[in-house]
Amino acid sequence: MLFAAIGQARDARQVDTVIELYTSQGCSSCPPADQLMGTLTENTSVLGLSFSVTYWDYIGWKDTFADPENDLRQTLYRDQMNERYVYTPQMIVGGISHFVGSSSEQLETHLKTLKGHARKINLSWRFIDGDIEIILPQTSTGATLWQMDVDYRKKVDIGRGENSGRSVTYHNIVRNIDKLGEWDGSPTTLRLKLDDLQAKGRDACALLVQEQNHGPIIGALMIDL
């Protein structure tokens, strides 16, 4: 059930699928994946998020969106999935599976096979003043709650490195990762301060409900500011 405040311009939606793109402005293989993410964000049933990493900065261009927290998240996925290394561009679907992020064929396959993973729990919510109140129902397993602060779209003119001279547009850029805490699976109400987030210049935020810290994502909400 969704509760909406009268006259409230903000919107929120629970999505079917979450796709995380790990990318870098310094990686020549990434622009096709960044473009693919732009197409993906047009699908309102999917939550696409772009995480810029720092580990290609040494090549000659410092990624303007990169954050060591993004590097850490990708590394923890590597460990969770028992992989040997991280790479860009990498897409991770539902915290479950990954592939080279420029592959539209792999993307379509994953959208079909993993559709609905982010609706294993039904979220409800309502806007109250400058906040959103999110109700998590009872479930048999606990999870970690993550808030991702998002900018919709930014164009970057890259001056050095492998993409020197290119202008690349990035979509649903994660600007901050906040671990809200561990949820034990009991009925819980969570409140996020949207006015504070908007004052920082962000366009949206996402709530991810994720088992085993960096395991399967069982619920996801996109909140447009």
- DSSP track, 100-168: ETT-HHHHHHHHHHSTTTTBSS--EEEEETTEEEEEEPP-SS-EEEEEEEEEEEEEEE--SSTTTT-EE
Does the pLDDT of residue 51 top 90, yes or no?
Answer: yes
CB atoms within 10 A of CB 33: 25
| Residue 212: pLDDT band with limits 50, 70, 90 | confident
* Predicted TM-score (pTM) of this structure: 0.94
Q: What is the mean predicted confidence (pLDDT) over 177-181?
A: 97
Give the pLDDT of residue 9.
59
Range of the domain at 192: 2-224
The structure tokens listed for 221 are 């909400």
Is 126 within 8 Å of 4 (Cβ atoms)? yes
> pLDDT tens digits for 95-105?
999 999 999 99
Domain count, the chain: 1
**Gyration radius from the chain CA atoms:** 17
